A = this chain, B = another copy of it.
Amino acid sequence: MAGTLADALQRVLRLADPPLLTVAGRTDAGVHARGQVCHLDVDEDAVAALPGRSSRTPPAALVERLAGVLPADIVVRAAGAAPPGFDARFSATGRRYAYRLSDTAHRPDPLRRRDVVWHRKGLDVAAMQAAAAPLLGEHDFVAFCRPRPGASTVRTLTRLQPRREAGRTGLVVLDVEADAFCHHQVRALVGALLAVGTGQQRPEWPAQVLAARRRDGAVQVAPAHGLTLEEVRYPPEAEVATQAARARRAREPVDG
């Protein structure tokens, strides 16, 4: 996805090489992103030239030109100049994901089959909610992460909320939000709650896994296509540089 976007930017901005993109939330294959954010360094003149004789602003012209070359499954909603010190990844203060399941007896709505995972058996959402509550707050989530050597797995989980969607959609949605996530963390948290929802595990179990601080083979990483990155949050412009420095210090692996 990032590669396709970089190629499109190269073409539209007439660059010698695809630009280097920094994305807010790197997503595994099959994971969707509705609210992804990325930044790149680009020559101001290249963007300023885009509107040509039209009355469009340069960012609006960039969005329109990208729409002309991107495949239908990638949409750039908006573009703009970033404030000094902005880093799409490290300036972010929060990421919000949604994981979507259907636990109806029949398969889910065909129009939603690409972002909804079918769970044949009915889920006990109240038990999942009980299991989710003690996971909130700042913890070392190493038990739910595929760790990178030297990198911290301490994160602050601010939301982990399984709920039945209103209306007769048959959907169970898990809203998950944290300052940042380590690799596989959202899908492993969802997998642990699913084990509770189906009755395989008791509601106390996910908190026990967390406290044990090591990967537990019984935690299944939930399928990728149910997961969507919905939103990335940033602080006010004046704080993006200090936030980036703070997050880099806390999360980057320590060399040597």
Contact = CB atoms under 8 A, between A and B. Distances in A.
Contact of A115 (B64, B67, B111, B113): B111
B32 A72 contact: no
Contacts of A76: 106
Nearest to A77: B106
A105 B59 CA distance: 12
B75 A108 contact: yes
A113 B72 contact: yes
B73 A105 contact: no
A48 B239 CA distance: 68
Give the copy number: 2
Contacts of A73: 110, 113
A67 B107 CA distance: 7
B63 A78 contact: no
Interface in A9-58: 32, 34
A77 B104 CA distance: 9
Contact of A109 (B34, B60, B67, B108): B34
A75 B111 contact: no
A99 to B, nearest CB: 14
